[in-house]
Amino acid sequence: MEEIKRLILNQENEEDRVISLSLRPERLDDFVGQPDLVSGLRVAITAAQKRNEPLEHTLFSGPPGLGKTSLAHIIANEMNRRITVTSGPAIDRAGDFIGILTNLEEGDVLFIDEIHRLSKTVEEFLYPAMENFKIDFIVDKGPYAKTINFNLKPFTLIGATTRSGLLTTPLRDRFGIFYHLEFYSQQDLSSIISTSAGKLNVAIDSDACLGLALRARGTPRIANRLLRRSRDYAQVNSNKNHIDLKIVNEAMKALRIDPQGLDELDRRLLTIIKTNYSGGPVGIEALAATLNEETDTIEDVIEPYLLKAGFLRRTSRGRELTPMAISHLGIK
Ligand code: ADP
């Protein structure tokens, strides 16, 4: 069950972290899909290079696993600069943050994941750092207090967030470039799966790629994860390093992922709305309590795909099942 839940929740674990390093696209040319974002970013990077300046501060928003971290690494690679990686919740003291900022070299990329979770104090340090590459901090207290100004080297801040709505306006306004990542098409996911299979040294048929793409909830991280589980399944059950459609179907059945890509947790959420709340509308708090999950998990991880795929509708009075969801549950 843990394995299934982990697969579903789309959170990165240790295995993902290690493997995603090898599967991560290195250059903008390797980044599949998101055509408007890729072409816009290419122009901005080329222009910054021509002016010999760092790229403007850039914000990426969108559900987990769509490529925000990969893009930050790609930008550093394309600009030929170093990258420092941290996250909103990891910087809990202003002192730590000053250390990070003062260590940046000219043109370096500072990547802050989950930037909507920065503390207020740290966020206030960030404003002048982003705007004028300066920080002011107060040392000592009372009559001995003095402000020290510190000049930073011009750098590029790249922020990633699953919830751009939670960002404060002053922070959002300080980003020159802002892109929202969309769920990927099945064709794009197929192409990501086929490239990843090559990197993992496993053969895969094209209909098997599509079979996995259909179930990947529009998300490259899930696509790669389902590919790895299918590879395990092929190696254990058929003793082959070759994934065909039959293997995909069997592996997905074992993981209880249905042909629409809905998993245990998706189905539980839809079923609860149907049985406990007569199909909705139901408020997020009530839903979270019945499902025994955090509201954040529902809003960031489970719900976006269900809304996008047309299983769920969000109204002013709460979440509601669509006729498609009701007939899907009926079939189950
Ligand atoms: P996020 O930061 O949005 O949670 P990541 O950048 O960590 O997502 O992406 C998760 C994994 O999905 C990456 O390691 C990479 O293997 C794959 N991936 C994401 N986007 C793409 C893409 N556009 N093309 C190819 N692979 C991708």
Whole-prediction pTM value? 0.91
Strands (E), the chain: 58-61, 83-87, 109-113, 134-139, 146-151, 156-161, 177-180, 203-204, 242-243, 312-315, 318-321
Which pLDDT does position 141 carry in this prediction? Answer: 78
Please state, in angstroms and rounded to a whole number, the distance separating the CA atoms of residues 172 and 272: 36
Res. 105: pLDDT tops 80: yes
Which pLDDT does position 312 carry in this prediction? Answer: 97
Say which range, 31-35, 167-171, 237-241, 303-307, has the weakest mean pLDDT.
Answer: 237-241
Measuring CA to CA, which residue among 220, 219, 181 is closest to residue 40? 181
Residue with the bigger pLDDT between 238 and 73: it is: 73
Percentage of the chain with pLDDT > 90?
A: 79
Q: Is 160 in the pocket of ligand 1 (CB under 6 A)?
A: yes
Looking from the CA of residue 67, the nearest atom of ligand 1 is: 6
Q: Which domains does the chain have, with CATH numbers?
A: 34-180 (3.40.50.300), 186-255 (1.10.8.60), 264-329 (1.10.10.10)
Say which range, 20-24, 52-56, 129-133, 243-247, has the weakest mean pLDDT.
Answer: 20-24
- Ligand 1 pocket test, pick from 34, 42, 70, 191 with the greatest ligand atom count within 8 Å of Cβ, gives 70
SS3 labels along 169-197: HHHHHCCCEEEECCCCCHHHHHHHHHHHH
- Ligand 1 pocket test, pick from 66, 188, 191, 227 with the greatest ligand atom count within 8 Å of Cβ, gives 66
Query: Could you give the C-alpha distances from 55 to 12, 134, 139, 258, 280, in angstroms and in order?
Result: 28, 17, 32, 43, 46
* Residue 181 contacts residue 134 (beta carbons within 8 Å): no
Q: Is 224 in the pocket of ligand 1 (CB under 6 A)?
A: yes
Task: Give catalytic status of residue 69 as yes or no.
Answer: yes
Task: Give catalytic status of residue 24 as yes or no.
Answer: no
For residue 5, name the pLDDT band (cuts at 50, 70, 90).
low
Task: Give catalytic status of residue 162 as yes or no.
Answer: yes
User: What is the bridge-based pairing of β-strands 177-180 and 58-61?
Assistant: parallel
- The shares of helix, strand and coil residues in the chain, as percent rounded to the nearest 5, are 55, 15, 30
